[in-house]
Every structure is written in structure tokens, then in C-alpha cells.
Structure 1
Amino acid sequence: MGWGGGRVLRDRNVVFYLSGVVVSGFGSSAMSLAAGVWTKSLTGSDSLAALTTFCVWAPILLGPVIGTLADRARRRPLLIWTNLGMAMVLLPLLAVHSSDQIWILFAVLTVYGISSVLLDAAEAALVATVVPETLRGDFNGLRMTANEGMKLVAPLLGALLFVQFGGTAVALLDAVTFVLAAMAFTLIRVSEPAPRPAKAQKWSAQVAEGIRCLRHQPALWRLVLAGAATMGVAGLNGASVYAVVDAGLHRPPAFAGVLYAVQGIGSVVIGLFSGALLRRMPERGFAAAGIMLFALGVALRVVPSAPVVLIASAMIGAGLPCVLIAAMTAVQRETPGDLLGRVAATANTLLFAPNAVALVAGAGLLALVGHDVLLLVAGAAAATAAIGCLLGSGTRAPAAAPALGGSVRVEDGGAEGSETAHDSR
């Protein structure tokens, strides 16, 4: 089957959505680096600087709860108002000029993390409404490409902006990107059904309903668990990167930036071709192949050769997104629309929480064992996850891609349906 990205990009809704992803991802990536540098410059504390990342990531542990909100409202208006709300939430950062005010930054970053979980859930649900099933792999791959492409340039430009004008300038830039993303979502034309009236259920019962929906689909559950295991290994790999640069390659710490850039290029490339590959193989096969490529890349990082480690970084970048794209595409297909927000958020919690935990664990393990031992064990663990993914019962076989138009109603009689599962802000 051919590349489906061209068919996806001919739809106006996708163009507006991906435009929002690009500007949103740029602001998010710039802010993620600037927040740590900003904290370090005001407090001189490495621990507080590291805590900025924790504030953004911690809310993902509440994904099933936050995702329930995405099932209680129309998803497009929710995306618009959440983006506009976050633009306003960032404005108090303009008052942060000393260490006594650093609590404002931490409070804003925590709200930032909560909004990221909510946005991801709402976007995943809206994709299932407007993108034809056989083109969702292409769409999710293009979204991954847009996200990773921004990560290649935004942190550097954010750092330069911080050096020249300070953290408030980066905060303003990020606020503007939220507004631009909201405008992009406003321009999407889709007839979205109203959510069903809420049952007389406690909030906890609604959360549990989403968890049960994911747990009771064996093929999807196994795919998500394989992704969780892989992301855990990715955390161990990430914790060892500076040891690879220093003890393995005898290069300065800045060389880690080169490895991250090469890894990002690998992710961009796989994002472009994931849809075509998903039409040639079942999701579990695509995920397993990507995990195995990732496992080999992790193991190859023990070789004390810069060219080999660079190739390994490209393998890691190309392999790691496969299971994430496959899992989200399967979630969008297999989940009823009225549960999709909380199921997608639950899947994201299972997929990404192990990464944060493993980063901390990996930092501790490096004090006990060499990075080469850690990487070899991590690579073996990822290979085991790939085998487990293959041995599980499969999801639906790939089907031929139809024309993009005609499958979804749109407002104003305009373009064919299409929208997205968006980046993690």
C-alpha cells in the first residue's frame, strides 16, 4: 500500500490541526527547557530545576480521572477553551523575578501538566470521530513527525530566547502558541454529536468504566502493556545517556545533544511511514518490530564507537514511536466514542508513567552497575516485550484505505472529515 499521508493532508481539518500541533509543540518544547534553566538561575538548586519536569509529568498519573472530563463535553470546544485557558494561566509567570516567587512557576507547571493530559484525551477522541479508520495510522504518524520535528529546534531557540530576554519572554511565546492552537481548532469544521446525558454515576464509577473497557480487550491491553514495558526501558536508556557520552565515548556532555537530535530524526522518519506500514501488517506486528529495533539500538549503545552509537540513536528514535502509534491507533478504533476520552487517558498513563519512574530508577542503578550492564539488561527486557507482543492475540487485520471523503459529516458542507490525536503539551 502507498503512503497515505498525502490523502490525509488534502483534508483541510488535518491541515489546521497539524498547524496547531506545530505551533503548540514549539511553545511546549521551548518552555520545557526554559523552566528548568529559569529555576536554576533563580534558586541555584539542581533539585528544584529537576522538579519542574516532575510538575509537568506528575498529572499523567491521574489520567483516568482527568480523561473523564473529555467524555463529558464536545471535544472541539473543549480543546479550544482549554488552550485559551492555558494562555491565561501562563501570564502569572510574568511576575516571577526572584526565588521567593518560584512557587508561581511550579503552580503554573502543575496546571500545565493537567491540561496536557486533558488535551491529549480530547484530541484522541476527536480523531476517532473525523479521521477514517484506515488512515488513522497515517494521521497519528504525521502528528508524531510534527511533534518530534519541533523538538529538534524549539529547545535551542527557547534557550536563546531565555538568554536574551529571560523566562518571561519564553512564557509569553508559549501563551501565544496556545492562542494559535485554539484558533486552529476553531477553524476545524466537524459535526460532533453531543455527549450522552451523564448517568447517575459517581465520578469514580465513570473512571472505573473507562479502565474496565481497556482491561477487557485482551489484544489492546497486551499492546498497551508492551508499550508500557518499552517506555520503562526508554527511561533506563535515557538515564544512561550521559554515562554513554562520558564513560563510553569520552566526549563532552554537550555531545548528548547530538544523540538526541539523531534520535529525533529517526522518530520523524518513522512517523512519515507508519500509516503505510500499518496497512501492511497488524498493529501488534508493527509494534513488535519497532520494539525489537529499539531493543537493538539500546544494546548497541554499549559499543565505544561514536558512529555505532549514532546509528543506535537513530534506531531508538525510529523504533520507540512504533508501539505508541500502534497503541493509540488501536485505542481509537476499538473504544466506543463515549468512553474514548477516559480510555485514551488511561492508556497514556500506562504508557508514559513507567518512563518517569524508570528515569529515577536508572539514575540510582548507575551508581551500582556500569552503564553497559544496564543497557544490555534494558535491551534484553525490550526484546522480551517485543516477543510478548507478538505472542498475544492479534488485533484486526489491516484493510485497504478508502478515499478520505464521505465518511464523516462536516459543518458548512465543506471539507471531508479529519482531525487528530495531538502532541503531549
Structure 2
Amino acid sequence: MRLPLYLCAVLVSGFGTTAMWLVSGIWVKSLTGSDSLAALTAFALWAPALLGPVLGGLVDRVPRRPLLVTVNLAMAAVLPLLLWVDRADRVWLLFLVLFVYGTQGALVEAAEAALAAGALDPERLGSFNGLRLTVNEAVKLVAPLVAAGLFARYGGGPVALLDAATFALAAGVFALLRVREARIPAAEERGRVADGVRPLRESPVLRALVGAGGFTMFLAGLNGAAIYTVVDRGLGHSPAYAGVLYAVQGAGSVAAGLVAGPLLRRVPERVLAAAGLALFALGAAARALPYDGVALAASGVVGVGLPWVLIAAMTAVQRGVPPEVVGRAAGTANTLVFVPNAVALAVGAGLVAVVDVRVLLPVVGVAGLAGAAALAFAPGARGTLVPRERASVS
């Protein structure tokens, strides 16, 4: 697989996706004036993550590259419908499209993981996942500015058209991609959706890493819910200052993705994940301190630590699962890792109203350090992926 060409597709589609995700809440707020409806846009985008195992089952039944082309073309066709959303009583269409958008995202995540697992040598998967995350995070440093400018001047329609164009371009790039895919099992060999769960449950290493990913994202949700309170009450800045902290965090994530591959060639996934969780915990706890310099440094540390956990978990799934169930396993892993984040965002929104962030964030830090220690030293998690789990992957 030509990695630069693939990363080009990730870059193009990621730009439009970041723009649309940012604008959707602003769009609903501007049409309805409702904060609660605006917040529901995030739920509409996250809810399809619950379908991860089912969508992964679809991935295991069809060739992955044509699936990626088709899904991107479908989104390019759907997004222009949002031009019709120009008043409050049409917001339902935006929510419907956002749910489709989230479904597409969950499907593409599983398809890309399965495509890479079958096309790349296991030793290159860490670099692949790191570079993919780097591209996505780099896009997040630019796309929000473009999206905000477009929306402020022209409204949401042009942003939807921009996103549609990026999906069409990504489909074209995927169509140019030449990759030798693993054989698609015959109908009688495919098994059930639950077959993708079995490798995650039976392997102590995969179980520990995916569990650590979900635990980390739950803590990240609590940390994210507290960010505006930190900016306002802790640092004394306007809410816009959160954008500065997110930019620093994004820069840290770009750096983390670049070094993740080389690190995974030297240390097991468990070690990288434990180090990442520990860094995240320290950064989250430090945000309780009311100093700008500390807050900026903490954001950078969080930006480095969080991706390492996710990269380690997904790389282990790709390396340690038989090719015929990679789609289902990746879809299930994504559900187990990312749904806790959505839950924690909701829980955290309530907690910050009753718990001082100077208490909440250190608690998050202590929990994260305890989780990192458990991952690093738990006997079961210190095993290795057994050779039979990769025996049929070339």
C-alpha cells in the first residue's frame, strides 16, 4: 500500500470532517437559540459508535478499498442536502445527516484498520497509526479557522459543500490506491458479529489495552468537560482561550504521532500505553493549578499522552487479531474505547457544576496514574500476542 497516497486521503477527508464537526453545533445554536439542541449535535455524531461491532461485521464481508470509495462518495452526495437547513424547523435534517455522518465515521475507522492490517507488515502498523493520527491532528490546527470564517461570513451551507468536496476528493484518492487485500471469507466462513469480540476477550494483552483505552477516554471526557471552568475560574480568561489550549494539545498530539511508530519498534504496546496514560494523568492534574504557563505545558503533555494510548491499543488489535475478523474486532474496540468518552462528557458536565475542578482534576490524575501502574505491572497485561493470532496475516 502506498502510504503517502493513503495519508493524502486522510488529510483531505479529515479537513472537511473537522470543519463540519465544529460548525454543526454553531449552526444549530444560530438557528434555534437552544444550547441543549446544540449540545445534541455531539451526541448525534457519537451515538453510531455503539454500532461498531455491527459495522465491523460489514467490513469483514466486502473488499475494504471499494467500500471506502463508496462510503466517501455517498457522503459527498448526502451533505449538499444541508443547503436546505436555513431555519429552525429544518434542523431535524441536520441531525439526521449528522447521525449518518457518525455511522460513516465508525464504518471508515473499522475499514481503514482492517485494510492496513492486511496490507502492511505488522512492524509497520505502529508507524501507520502514528502518522495517520499526526495528519488528523495537524488538520485540526487549521480546519477550525477556515470553518469558523466560512460560517461567520456565509453560513453553514458552504461548509457542508466544502465537506462534500473533500469526501469526493478522498474517494478519488482511495480509488487510485493499489493494495493487495486479504481474502474475503466465503459466506459459510464469516461467522457472527460476536466473533470479533472473542479475540479481544480471550487475549489478556488485547483485553488490557482496549480496557486501558476506554478508561483513558473516560478520564479524557471528564478532563474535557472541565476545560471551560479551568479557563474561566482558574485562569481568568474568556472562553476563547480554550482554543489556545486545544491548539497546544494538538501540537503535542502531532509530535506524539510522529514518534509513536519508532517507539513501538522498541517497546511493547503495553509500555507505550502505560507511559501515555501516565503523561495524560499528570497533565490533567496540573490543569488544576491557576497559572497560564502550567496550563499550556499541561495541554502539551495531555496532547502527547492521550494518542499513545489509542495508537498502542489499535496497533495491538491489528497485530493480534486474525485477518478474517479484523473489521469486527476493530469496530468493537472503537466502541469500547470511544463510547466512554461520550458518557464522561455528559457526567463531567454535571460534575463541574457541583465539584471544584481543583478537586476533580487531581482525582482524574490519581485515577490515571493508578491505571497506568495497573497496565504496566499487572501480570496478565505483561504477556505478548501469541503467534497464532498473526499466523494468517502477510
Tell me the TM-score normalised to structure 2 length: 0.95
2:18 alignment partner, one of 16, 25, 29: 29
Distance 2:187 2:198 in 1: 18
Q: Given that residues 252 and 304 in structure 2 are in contact (C-alpha distance below 8 angstroms), is that contact kept between their aligned partners in structure 1?
A: yes
Distance 1:192 1:223 in 2: 26
Q: CA deviation at 1:50?
A: 0.9
List alignment gaps of at least 5 residues for structure 2. 386-392
Q: CA deviation at 1:315?
A: 0.3
How do 1:10-409 residues align onto structure 2 when only pairs under 5 Å count? 13-199=2-188, 206-392=192-378, 393-396=381-384
Identity %: 56
Distance 1:357 1:159 in 2: 27
Distance 1:194 1:228 in 2: 31
Q: Given that residues 86 and 178 in structure 1 are in contact (C-alpha distance below 8 angstroms), is that contact kept between their aligned partners in structure 2?
A: yes
Q: CA deviation at 1:285?
A: 0.6
Distance 2:40 2:299 in 1: 27
Give the number of the structure with larger relative contact order, counting CA–CA contacts within 8 Å between residues 6 or more apart. 1
List alignment gaps of at least 5 residues for structure 1. 1-10, 398-406, 409-425
Question: What whole-Å deviation, never above 9, does each CA across 1:143-191 have from its counterpart, x for those lacking one?
Answer: 0100000111101110101112211100000001111111111111112
The secondary structure found in structure 1 opposite 2:141 is helix
Q: Given that residues 283 and 395 in structure 1 are in contact (C-alpha distance below 8 angstroms), is that contact kept between their aligned partners in structure 2?
A: no
Question: What whole-Å deviation, never above 9, does each CA across 1:330-361 have from its counterpart, x for those lacking one?
Answer: 10011111100010010011111111101111
The secondary structure found in structure 1 opposite 2:168 is helix
Q: Given that residues 125 and 332 in structure 1 are in contact (C-alpha distance below 8 angstroms), is that contact kept between their aligned partners in structure 2?
A: yes
The secondary structure found in structure 1 opposite 2:179 is coil
CA RMSD of aligned residues (A): 1.4
Question: What whole-Å deviation, never above 9, does each CA across 1:226-270 have from its counterpart, x for those lacking one?
Answer: 111111000000000011111111111111110000000000001
Q: Given that residues 205 and 384 in structure 2 are in contact (C-alpha distance below 8 angstroms), is that contact kept between their aligned partners in structure 1?
A: no
Paired letter, 2:117: A
Distance 1:251 1:336 in 2: 51
Paired letter, 1:39: V
Q: Given that residues 138 and 254 in structure 2 are in contact (C-alpha distance below 8 angstroms), is that contact kept between their aligned partners in structure 1?
A: yes
Q: Given that residues 76 and 126 in structure 1 are in contact (C-alpha distance below 8 angstroms), is that contact kept between their aligned partners in structure 2?
A: yes
Distance 1:30 1:373 in 2: 34
Q: Given that residues 141 and 275 in structure 1 are in contact (C-alpha distance below 8 angstroms), is that contact kept between their aligned partners in structure 2?
A: yes
Paired letter, 1:120: E
The number of aligned residues is 385
More helix by share: 2
Question: What whole-Å deviation, never above 9, does each CA across 1:251-306 have from its counterpart, x for those lacking one?
Answer: 11111110000000000001001111111211101110111011100111111110
Distance 1:211 1:396 in 2: 19
The secondary structure found in structure 1 opposite 2:56 is helix
Distance 2:54 2:373 in 1: 32
The secondary structure found in structure 2 opposite 1:304 is coil
The secondary structure found in structure 2 opposite 1:90 is helix
Q: Given that residues 223 and 364 in structure 2 are in contact (C-alpha distance below 8 angstroms), is that contact kept between their aligned partners in structure 1?
A: yes
Q: Given that residues 282 and 395 in structure 1 are in contact (C-alpha distance below 8 angstroms), is that contact kept between their aligned partners in structure 2?
A: no
Paired position in structure 2 for 1:400: none
Q: Given that residues 73 and 194 in structure 1 are in contact (C-alpha distance below 8 angstroms), is that contact kept between their aligned partners in structure 2?
A: no
Paired letter, 2:338: F
Q: Spell out structure 1 runs of 4+ moving beyond 6 A.
A: none
